[in-house]
């Protein structure tokens, strides 16, 4: 591979920091690898004196093998071997390594366990459920029930967990909503009362439908104002109903106008009040969520990715000696996919920085916003680098054919407008004729529901499935799109030059992946689904993981419950609820209850030997026979 002059500059400028902001497939990662290798071979930097950071474990593994392969290719065997143990990892991987070495200084259990994304997600859900149960309590507080009713538990969970995670990604270990100031009334209610009376007088002599409607609203409004005591506020929806417009001439007078103004002002106050009340409640809920989440993690000696970063940040920030030891040990700090950095991660990079940071990224590939990556971090650094003339652009794309780049430039030039930097094609990007022309095709499906409904009206009325039984219940345009795509792929692989393995289907989300899979299978095209949520979250794998987690620690209730509910336990959900209730009322952990129940013979009374609280003994009698058997089998295998 011959590097371009732009790429060469980015590889060779190894004095001082440098930032490369460049589009997809322009060789950013290749340049980073080469820079790493050149620093080792040309400058004599030790392999373990370079810290290379990227944003997923998979990317880190790839980076390691690219560095090793390049060193091998250049005949540097010893260095290639050392690349295995190089500091090439995700940022939390780096933090984890630092914390293992300095656990005591960081004030943590040296045996800490890293909770992966899946596990911390599970704990987060559990923590929220507990927080919500505690928050609602016996359901005596109408305000809390109102919050629950107006947001629903799912949306509340989303809001609370998002706010919490967002706070942590900004470097806040225990994020809280700020204290809000209650809105201070400034006579809005009195003003409304007075305006109502004046308006009633103003329209007293008028008549007509609009006027009598307005009069009735004014009277209800007067009653509402009377009803409200000090400090009470009206319900916004109720208040909104009492508004009327100046449609009739009689309703255009000054007093009516003033009523409308006073109504608006008071309504705004009510809305601010409600927002304030919600804020206070949410603040409370987030606090509880954080406490439960912390205690669930503590029970497992577990640290999630954010914890690793937060603790490492605190350690490096608080200990000047350690900080300089780490920043001195790295001759270079290199960051791939820098656009996906969040402010906390950036803080850690800043702590290590001694004008030796090499960062590459592409703001248009900022895909981890849902993980609170903040593309502003990237932009700020890019602008600073440009000011200091420490930015190196790379503009030529080496990944795609020219025709594909034309299409990308055409489409995204329109989407992004002025800010769009077109991808330039490499000199040989069209030198080989494409096997199928044109290189880019658009298969367009009509997404207008109305037209599909009209087209299939008769069939739907007959209860038929217009796309056949296999697509029953699928949104028509999606079924049509899947079929269209499958037909084209069939043509390309049956009559055309390709094998099914040459085709990749990329989807925005995995939600409807099954529809596309089905359409392909109908044509006999074999499929291989990658992703969804990946290997570790496939149900069987998750079940086995839970089994191992419960074996390692039978007090891990989440894991134990998951195993019991899985085919490995075969216990019904109803029975699980009964077990959990018995455990709670006995003050025992779930595993102890399971063991005790297993020790009680089926149907028989409890032998003297089983000393168990009433609730547990009762449970043994109440469990459906099949569940009793399943629990006994499980306990025998598991013990």
Ligand X SMILES: Nc1ncnc2c1ncn2[C@@H]1O[C@H](COP(=O)(O)OP(=O)(O)OP(=O)(O)O)[C@@H](O)[C@H]1O
The residue ranges that bind Mg ion (CB under 5 A) are: 28-29
HSE, side-chain direction, 13 A CA sphere, residue 245:
1
- Shortest approach of ligand X to residue 310 CB, angstroms? 28
* Residue 24 binds which entry of ligand X, Mg ion, none, CB below 5-8 Å type-dependent: ligand X
Question: Is 22 or 198 the residue whose CB approaches Mg ion more closely?
Answer: 22
Cα separation, 430 vs 424, whole angstroms: 12
Do 316 and 99 touch, CB atoms closer than 8 A?
Answer: no
Put residue 587 in one of left, alpha, beta given phi > 0 → left and psi -120 to 50 → alpha: left
DSSP state of 251: G
* Residue 412 binds which entry of Mg ion, ligand X, none, CB below 5-8 Å type-dependent: none
Instruction: At 620, list the tokens.
Output: 């043994």
| Footprint on residues 450-479 left by ligand X (CB under 6 A) | none
Question: Contact between 361 and ligand X (CB under 6 A)?
Answer: no
Q: How many chain residues interact with ligand X (CB under 6 A)? A: 16
Instruction: At 619, list the tokens.
Output: 């449970």
Cα separation, 332 vs 39, whole angstroms: 9
- Shortest approach of ligand X to residue 232 CB, angstroms? 58
Question: Is 4 or 197 the residue whose CB approaches ligand X more closely?
Answer: 4
**Long-range contacts (CB closer than 8 Å, 24 or more residues apart) made by 464-470:** 470/518, 470/522
Instruction: At 637, list the tokens.
Output: 């295998």
* Tokens 């029930």 found at: 145
Q: Which residue is nearest to Mg ion (CB)?
A: 29
From residue 375, give the alpha-carbon distance in Å to each of 56, 362, 508, 572. Answer: 17, 9, 20, 46
- Shortest approach of Mg ion to residue 29 CB, angstroms? 3
Question: Is 30 or 366 the residue whose CB approaches ligand X more closely?
Answer: 30
Question: Is 334 or 550 the residue whose CB approaches ligand X more closely?
Answer: 334
Question: Is 398 or 420 the residue whose CB approaches Mg ion more closely?
Answer: 398
CA-derived radius of gyration, the chain? 32
* Distance, C-alpha 396 to centroid of its chain: 33
Nearest to 63 by CA among 336, 332, 329, 330: 336
| Footprint on residues 70-109 left by ligand X (CB under 6 A) | none
Question: Is 55 or 467 the residue whose CB approaches ligand X more closely?
Answer: 55
Question: Is 407 or 580 the residue whose CB approaches ligand X more closely?
Answer: 407
| Footprint on residues 29-68 left by ligand X (CB under 6 A) | 29-30
From residue 266, give the alpha-carbon distance in Å to each of 202, 230, 242. Answer: 21, 14, 12
Among 8, 323, 329, 399, binds ligand X (CB under 6 A): 399
- Shortest approach of ligand X to residue 423 CB, angstroms? 10
- Shortest approach of ligand X to residue 385 CB, angstroms? 17
Do 294 and 300 touch, CB atoms closer than 8 A?
Answer: no
| Strand boundaries in 151-267, DSSP class E | none
- Shortest approach of ligand X to residue 30 CB, angstroms? 3
Question: Contact between 4 and ligand X (CB under 6 A)?
Answer: yes
Question: Is 4 or 572 the residue whose CB approaches ligand X more closely?
Answer: 4
| Footprint on residues 6-35 left by ligand X (CB under 6 A) | 7, 24-30
Among 151, 243, 276, 398, binds ligand X (CB under 6 A): 398
Do 536 and 546 touch, CB atoms closer than 8 A?
Answer: no
Report the alpha-carbon angle 85-88-94, nearest 5. 100
- Shortest approach of ligand X to residue 7 CB, angstroms? 6
- Shortest approach of ligand X to residue 424 CB, angstroms? 12
Per CB under 6 A, residues contacting ligand X are 1-4, 7, 24-30, 362, 365, 398-399
């Amino acid at each position: 591979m011959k590097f371009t002059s732009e790429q060469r500059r980015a590889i060779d400028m190894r004095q001082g920091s440098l930032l490369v902001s460049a589009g997809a497939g322009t060789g950013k990662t290749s340049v980073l690898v080469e820079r790493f290798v050149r620093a080792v071979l040309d400058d004599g930097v030790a392999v373990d004196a370079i810290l290379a950071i990227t944003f997923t474990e998979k990317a880190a593994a790839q980076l390691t093998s690219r560095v090793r392969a390049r060193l091998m290719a250049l005949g540097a065997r010893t260095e290639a071997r050392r690349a295995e143990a190089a500091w090439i990892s995700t940022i939390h991987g780096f933090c984890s390594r630092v914390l293992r070495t300095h656990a005591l200084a960081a004030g943590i259990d040296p045996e800490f366990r890293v909770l992966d994304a899946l596990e911390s997600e599970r704990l987060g859900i559990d923590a929220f459920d507990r927080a919500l149960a505690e928050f609602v309590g016996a359901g005596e507080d109408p305000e809390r029930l109102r919050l629950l009713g107006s947001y629903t538990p799912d949306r509340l969970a989303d809001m609370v967990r998002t706010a919490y995670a967002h706070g942590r990604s900004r470097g806040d270990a225990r994020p809280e909503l700020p204290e809000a100031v209650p809105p201070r009334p400034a006579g809005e209610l009195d003003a409304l009362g007075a305006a109502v009376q004046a308006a009633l007088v103003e329209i007293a002599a008028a008549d007509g439908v609009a006027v009598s409607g307005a009069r009735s609203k004014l009277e209800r409004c007067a009653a509402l104002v009377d009803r409200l005591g000090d400090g009470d506020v009206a319900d916004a929806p109720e208040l909104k109903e009492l508004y009327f417009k100046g449609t009739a001439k009689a309703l255009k007078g000054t007093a009516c106008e003033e009523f409308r103004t006073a109504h608006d002002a008071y309504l705004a106050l009510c809305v601010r009040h409600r927002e304030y009340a919600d804020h206070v409640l949410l603040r409370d809920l987030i606090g509880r969520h954080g406490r439960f989440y912390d205690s669930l993690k503590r029970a497992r000696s577990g640290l999630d990715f954010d914890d690793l970063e937060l603790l490492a940040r605190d350690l490096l920030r608080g200990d000047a000696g350690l900080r300089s030891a780490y920043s001195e040990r790295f001759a270079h700090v290199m960051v791939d996919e820098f656009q996906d950095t969040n402010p906390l991660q950036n803080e850690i990079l800043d702590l290590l920085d001694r004008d030796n940071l090499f960062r590459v990224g592409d703001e248009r590939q900022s895909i981890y916003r849902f993980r609170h990556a903040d593309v502003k971090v990237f932009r700020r650094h890019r602008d600073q680098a440009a000011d200091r003339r420490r930015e190196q652009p790379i503009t030529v794309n080496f990944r795609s054919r020219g025709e594909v780049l034309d299409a990308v430039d055409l489409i995204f030039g329109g989407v992004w407008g002025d800010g769009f930097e077109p991808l330039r094609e490499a000199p040989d990007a069209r030198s080989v004729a494409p096997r199928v022309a044109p290189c880019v095709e658009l298969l367009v499906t009509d997404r207008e529901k109305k037209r599909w409904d009209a087209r299939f009206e008769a069939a739907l009325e007959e209860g038929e499935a217009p796309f056949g039984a296999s697509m029953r219940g699928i949104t028509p345009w999606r079924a049509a799109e899947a079929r269209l795509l499958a037909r084209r792929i069939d043509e390309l692989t049956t009559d055309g030059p390709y094998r099914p393995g040459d085709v990749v289907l990329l989807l925005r989300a995995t939600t409807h992946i099954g529809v596309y899979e089905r359409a392909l299978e109908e044509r006999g095209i074999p499929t291989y689904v990658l992703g969804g949520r990946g290997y570790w979250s496939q149900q069987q794998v998750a079940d086995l993981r839970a089994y191992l987690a419960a074996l390692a620690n039978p007090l891990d209730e989440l894991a134990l419950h998951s195993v019991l509910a899985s085919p490995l336990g075969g216990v019904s959900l109803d029975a699980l609820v009964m077990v959990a209730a018995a455990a709670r009322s006995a003050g025992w952990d779930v595993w102890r209850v399971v063991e005790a129940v297993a020790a009680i013979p089926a149907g028989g009374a409890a032998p003297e030997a089983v000393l168990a609280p009433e609730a547990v003994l009762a449970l043994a009698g109440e469990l459906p026979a099949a569940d009793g058997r399943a629990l006994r089998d499980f306990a025998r295998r598991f013990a």
